[in-house]
Amino acid sequence: MKKVLLAYGYHKSGHYSAVHAIEEELESRGIAAETCNLWEGKTQTIDMLFSIFRAFAARSVKQVPDFLIAPELLEILADEMHFGVDLQSYDGVISTHQYSSSLIATHKQKQGSNVPIIHVHINYTPFPLQMHPLIDFYAGATPKEDTDSKLHQ
């Protein structure tokens, strides 16, 4: 039986609802799904990130600043996040949150894994914020290429 690891954002909101719907669909097809929250027990890190995002929102900043999606920051966060999951024990990973997807990709590299990672973008913003070389497929409602091409018409 195939087995897929599912990951969402910081708390049980829209990202979790999407993962739950994916889980139901996979299981209806006979594929085992296991859900994980990388951020569990990391409230201080989450609070810091959200305070930054709230400050940008209050200033009507329309684009995520590069430093928030920089590979160096992802490395620091990945080092802080305990990830006791052997990615090789899964046939694939599906994540509904950009940070979670990128953190899993960073752990994929650290483990030397070749498990495919799919990022499903559920926000209304263009995606991906940044292409991670170890995320194999991006899906969602508003691809960045489509948004960019419409803006430049």
**pLDDT over 50 at 153, yes or no:** no
Residue 133: the pLDDT is 87
Other CB atoms within 10 A of residue 35 CB: 15
Residue 122: the pLDDT is 83
* pTM, full prediction: 0.79
Residue pLDDT, tens place only, 65-90? 777 767 777 777 777 776 788 999 99
Q: Are 103 and 80 in contact (CB under 8 A)?
A: no
- Percent of the chain topping pLDDT 70: 82
In whole angstroms, what is the distance from residue 39 CA to residue 26 CA? 23
Q: Are 86 and 111 in contact (CB under 8 A)?
A: yes
Dihedral pair phi/psi, residue 131, rounded to 5°: -75, 125
Between residues 108 and 128, which one has the greater pLDDT? 108
**pLDDT over 80 at 108, yes or no:** yes
Residue 120: helix, strand or coil by DSSP?
Answer: strand
Q: Are 77 and 104 in contact (CB under 8 A)?
A: no
Between residues 128 and 50, which one has the greater pLDDT? 50
Between 7-11, 52-56, 64-68, 90-94, the lowest mean confidence (pLDDT) is in: 64-68
